[in-house]
Chains A and B, each alone.
Chain A
Amino acid sequence: ETGVTQTPRHLVMGMTNKKSLKCEQHLGHNAMYWYKQSAKKPLELMFVYNFKEQTENNSVPSRFSPECPNSSHLFLHLHTLQPEDSALYLCASSQEWSGRPETQYFGPGTRLLVL
């Protein structure tokens, strides 16, 4: 068991829908991440939270809105998505976002399909 859970595992939504992805980590970590994984492409870092503060936003469109109420929970709110946003969305956590390489622990992902 990875210690990082994500819900839902699968999601189908229309372009006008609003939905949220949830991530929870049980590892006592202080940093949490959202990644987008598309077929045959590298993982794309979307957002980083360190001690509940957003530290990275890699030019992600505003139709993706993260929320981190505490160090254990991370949400990704989705609104008016496009078909090209269909992908696997992975959540990860690490001890903290620091000036040292940190091993990241991943959740199983949410497979998103936008119609």
Chain B
Amino acid sequence: GQNIDQPTEMTATEGAIVQINCTYQTSGFNGLFWYQQHAGEAPTFLSYNVLDGLEEKGRFSSFLSRSKGYSYLLLKELQMKDSASYLCAVTDSNYQLIWGAGTKLIIKP
């Protein structure tokens, strides 16, 4: 079967750094997405990785290792507005999006 694993919930402190992990087992791989979803709002696109390595975009970075079936989202200089759920999704060999259940990130002052 196809599976995406993410921690259910994480807590971090304002100004700190947090890393949200995502591991996947899918039939094929055609890229990995990260989305952010604030409570009661639409998921919004953060990043897309298809090659190994780190992609940096401001305070957010996303890393991919295809050989390990592993990705992480790194958030630096955390702000209260970063409190949200972070969704990992993998595109399989049929270009179907397989979604994780999301990681709820709580930021404390």
Contacts and interface: CB of A to CB of B under 8 A. Distances in A.
Interface of A: 2, 4, 40-43, 45, 90, 98-101, 103-109, 111
A101 B34 CA distance: 13
Interface in B52-95: 87, 89, 91, 95
Contacts of B40: 108-109, 111
Contacts of B95: 98-101
User: Chain B: interface residue count, which band?
Assistant: 20 to 34
A45 B97 contact: yes
A23 B42 CA distance: 13
A42 B43 CA distance: 13
A43 B95 CA distance: 16
Contacts of B42: 2, 4, 90, 105-109
A29 to B, nearest CB: 13
A106 B4 contact: no
A108 B41 contact: yes
B101 A40 contact: yes
Given A100-B95, A101-B91, A103-B33, A90 B43 contact: yes
Contacts of B48: 101, 103
A98 B8 CA distance: 31
Interface string B13-42: 000000000000000001101010000111
29 contacts: A4-B42, A40-B8, A40-B101, A42-B98, A42-B100, A42-B101, A43-B89, A43-B99, A45-B96, A45-B97, A90-B42, A98-B95, A101-B30, A101-B48, A101-B50, A101-B91, A101-B95, A103-B45, A103-B48, A104-B45, A104-B97, A105-B42, A106-B42, A106-B43, A106-B44, A108-B40, A108-B42, A109-B40, A109-B42
